[in-house]
Amino acid sequence: MSSFISLQNLVYPSHELSLTMILLEEWSLTYVEGIDSKKYLQSQLTIDMNLLSKTHHTLCAYCNFNGKVSSTMHLFHYQKGYGYIQRKSISKIQIEEIHKYSIFSKIKINELNNMFLVGFAGLNARSFLLNFFIKIPDKNCSVIHENNTTILWYREPSERFLLVLSFSDFLILKRKINENIFFNNSKQWLLLDMEAGFPIIDKICSKRFTPQAINLDKLNAISFKKGCYYGQETIARIFFKKINKYFLCYLTSTGNIFPEIGVFIETQINNKWCKIGVLLSIVYVKSQEIHIQVVLRKSIDVNNSFRIYGFKNIFLIRN
């Protein structure tokens, strides 16, 4: 008999995480198919589609004409085309925007609401999945397709896996589990993405930042050598002139607060609290810790103390 231990209201950092199955209800899967799908995505996304092998997935972004990031996603070969995983809050809007200019291209773009996204992380996650699948992805092959299931491998912050499968296959997998495993919601995966340094772009922060402001250049999620794509001129100018003024950062504190995403981050300058950043994401870890992802001005002292506008809790940058 399987034994699922619920952790619905308790999230752990990666170094403390026991074997855990995570429902990624805050993410969605988009499917792009058709003979022009590769060519079309080449003109839309920040990465070079010609360099995306069938054995790997990659982080990239979709930007507007001004070079501001509408959405970030993990892109991979899927079925007869491409799949990408992005935040559900922005998914429908992003699909509408990217579809606007496809009238002369032979492609279809749809959100696959019938597919389940499930994460496995924590102690012995790899050996656990080997009980159910012939092969598990790794650094040499980060995407595996087995029957109707796709498995993505993530290295950071520690080895973890994302499964794309149907609801019926999810139920079959769940019934086969015969050992103790923790069960959690998508806040656990959100924390792991924050620890990994992946920018979390929800609807409220869409089109506010350039890719460099959220570290996508450092994450190899931008190509500066391929041809034109939306926002390419602005993104390239910032890169070659080295004029990016912001960076993505991870801060921690303690307490119990409930700020809205998109509010300002402050620091003290000459004994005065000044707005120097924006809140992207927040997760409450264990019972007392607060972990946040923010965009800050590069000019600030990383040794400073910070706070969220309207709250007194002091945050420090996590090394």
Domains assigned to the chain: 3-196 (3.30.1360.120), 245-312 (2.40.30.160)
Whether the per-residue pLDDT at 150 is higher than 90: the answer is yes
User: Is 273 marked as binding a ligand?
Assistant: no
What residues does 273 pair with on adjacent strands? 268
Whether the per-residue pLDDT at 1 is higher than 70: the answer is no
First-last CA distance in the chain? 42
Band (9; pLDDT cuts 50, 70, 90)? low
Q: What percent of the chain has pLDDT over 70?
A: 97
Mean pLDDT of 180-194: 95
Distance, CA of 112 to CA of 269 (rounded, Å) = 48
Closest C-alpha among 196, 271, 229 to residue 46? 229
User: Is 27 marked as binding a ligand?
Assistant: yes
Band (102; pLDDT cuts 50, 70, 90)? confident
Whether the per-residue pLDDT at 303 is higher than 80: the answer is yes
What type of residue sits at position 140? N
Closest C-alpha among 252, 250, 254, 251 to residue 287? 254
- Tokens describing residue 160: 């973890």
- Tokens describing residue 107: 């492609």
CB 307 within 8 A of CB 313: yes
Mean pLDDT of 254-277: 95
Q: pTM of the entire structure?
A: 0.95
pLDDT tens digits for range 199-241: 999 999 999 999 999 999 999 999 999 889 999 999 999 999 9
